[in-house]
Structure 1
């Protein structure tokens, strides 16, 4: 039985039609996530092409058709068509020459099946003809997709020895596409080879973990990673029960999934440790700061003014939302609420006869505290609060 891609918005892109025309008849197939997600009826974000043409020839043909092209990974056979509607990676068919678990030495191939054989999972080794939309399946990926079954291509242990990161990729894809019970060979292989993750760069591990934690409900998968001895290798500090509680509360509060918040739930409330983990995972400065703020939950600032809005005013909206959700508190007060600006300046206080200097700052802080405690009243009330403070200190 022949399978075809169903209709999808991305298939209507005119720039893709130009690209296929430039490469020539029979010289390209859609591959990987775009094919898989279209078959599942999911939104497609990235489009990748495979081709038997070598990179220099791909670049020549695209330039001849005035398609902007960038040699993003030309040493590995990949160039990128830089379209305004979204970049498209074009990679020459390859087969592995040697692997060491971290990187592979590849050679260009001419057979589609050789290229499919070096991929990780059967559901990721699906190709589609851009003209007929016929789907090509070399390792039973269509049946696995229908059954929501995640399997490595061929021998699972061999696939993992080729690239140790496939252990974490397995759990990410299992959380997104898989069903229970999971594939026994895959789980046993991931457990047996978990220690190999220590040889990978922290950045690669951090990226995979954050991608996993950003999914709709990663808690059951993360718990399984702990049971199989995988999680202790990459995040020994993790408390999987806390992650499950957070995800349940997020869902109750209709809060969007958030990887930083989920990582904070896995960690004990220790800002110093949170900063260490952020550095270990190579998170950005902003992410590191937010993770540390989430780890400071239970501090005095959590109770400032005894309200969600007071917390948001002091810490910012995202940090307050993190603290509230991690504490199991309600977040409705923050929906659609913009953090206000105190309608009082130092010059206003000086105009009331207070000498410029430390006393002005003290009065400003005192009025601000009253303003927060009263849930941010208007400027008229702030004037009254200033009167009260100045009278009290007269």
Structure 2
């Protein structure tokens, strides 16, 4: 509430008269004492009226989702999503047709979980909790609003969101919600693989990811879309999570996904999830089998690749060492080998690789020692070419 521009936004939307409130994750995370990233505001004003009010107050209004009632407001550098109160007209499990309303409880009723349907006055500290979200938040209970089966039918992604929120905020799963997710797991097949990948990567960052993935696997939640996720992969993930903590290295969702996979299935899974080329290459590198010392891996694979590989192996000390290492540069060029008598061409490239291999094997010595290695390699190459 102390961020720049929010006071101006509240005045522009008439929040002091109850026309606008903070909603959702910003309220939930504030109550939990967690950092707030995205700020969402709900309002009774129709979208065009929101635009008019913002422009009149000198606040930038971007119609990012105006057809569904969402305007992005930029006030003194603070970005806020402002959405008109809505209720669902029709849903098909992937998309919803909405209508605008001025009924706060109707807007709350269309949200997924009770802890995400909390509203707070913009000009004070009063909460509006229509479905027991505060109690559920205190109890670490992720609970659907209304009938879980109906909520999942409205949006199949809520199955994965249930488990992601459980991994982040929960203690024990709400039995009714868990039963509904188990019963409707096949609905996940209707979702785009990009949406599944996005939820999985977010889940992997949560504190309770390992326990929740075990729960999901034991109830075959992943089987319709990612049958490759199994208990062996989750055991590897547990090893990785412990190694990250021991090394003091921040969790990374792509690295954690690599732990769930193996060299035999990674290419197929990452293609199916439509990960970026960079993400797919990183996972392939992490699951490779190159031999060498930790610092040799750091040189050949890059720092990120070596850290991933070492953490996946559970070697926290080596990962921490490589993670703080500055990758050296070979203090020699092909031209230096030409000056020593080698003819330009493939012989130079071959000799330079030999120099580099010995330089790595000796622990990246200084330029003087590297020059001596080059002298020996060139001498051997010249003898071989003359014999």
Instruction: Mark yes or no: TM-score above 0.5.
Output: yes
Q: 2:13 aligns with which of 17, 23, 30?
A: 23
Which ranges in structure 2 are unaligned for 5 or more consecutive residues?
Answer: none
Q: Residue 255 of structure 1: CA displacement?
A: 2.5
Runs of 4+ residues deviating >4 angstroms: none
Q: Is the 8 A contact 1:215 1:257 kept in 2?
A: no
**1:163 is aligned to 2:155:** yes
Per-residue Cα deviation, 1:158-192 (whole angstroms, up to 9, x for no partner) = 11111010000000000000012x21101111000
Per-residue Cα deviation, 1:224-245 (whole angstroms, up to 9, x for no partner) = 0111111222311113222222
Residue aligning to 2:93:
101
What's the secondary structure of 1:12's corresponding residue?
Answer: coil
Residue aligning to 1:8:
none
Per-residue Cα deviation, 1:18-71 (whole angstroms, up to 9, x for no partner) = 111111232210000110000011111111000010111111111111211111
Residue aligning to 1:128:
120
The 1:123–1:193 alpha-carbon spacing in structure 2 relative to 1, beyond 3 Å, is same
Residue aligning to 1:267:
261
RMSD between superposed Cα atoms in Å: 1.4
Q: Residue 252 of structure 1: CA displacement?
A: 2.5
Q: Is the 8 A contact 1:30 1:130 kept in 2?
A: yes
TM-score (norm 1): 0.92
Q: Residue 332 of structure 1: CA displacement?
A: 2.9
Per-residue Cα deviation, 1:323-347 (whole angstroms, up to 9, x for no partner) = 1111222313213211111111111
Equivalence map 1:373-392=2 (5 Å): 373-392=361-380
**Equivalences, count:** 375
Equivalence map 1:210-229=2 (5 Å): 210-229=201-220
Separation in structure 2 between the aligned mates of residue 281 and residue 194 of structure 1, nearest angstrom: 17
Q: 2:241 aligns with which of 244, 247, 251?
A: 247
**1:347 is aligned to 2:335:** yes
Equivalence map 1:136-147=2 (5 Å): 136-147=128-139
Q: Residue 249 of structure 1: CA displacement?
A: 2.5
TM-score (norm 2): 0.94
Residue aligning to 1:372:
360
Equivalence map 1:308-319=2 (5 Å): 308-319=294-305
Q: Residue 202 of structure 1: CA displacement?
A: 0.9
Which ranges in structure 1 are unaligned for 5 or more consecutive residues?
Answer: 1-10
What's the secondary structure of 1:60's corresponding residue?
Answer: helix
Separation in structure 2 between the aligned mates of residue 389 and residue 237 of structure 1, nearest angstrom: 48
Q: 1:206 aligns with which of 172, 197, 202?
A: 197
Separation in structure 2 between the aligned mates of residue 48 and residue 332 of structure 1, nearest angstrom: 38
Residue aligning to 1:12:
2
Q: 1:38 aligns with which of 30, 33, 38?
A: 30
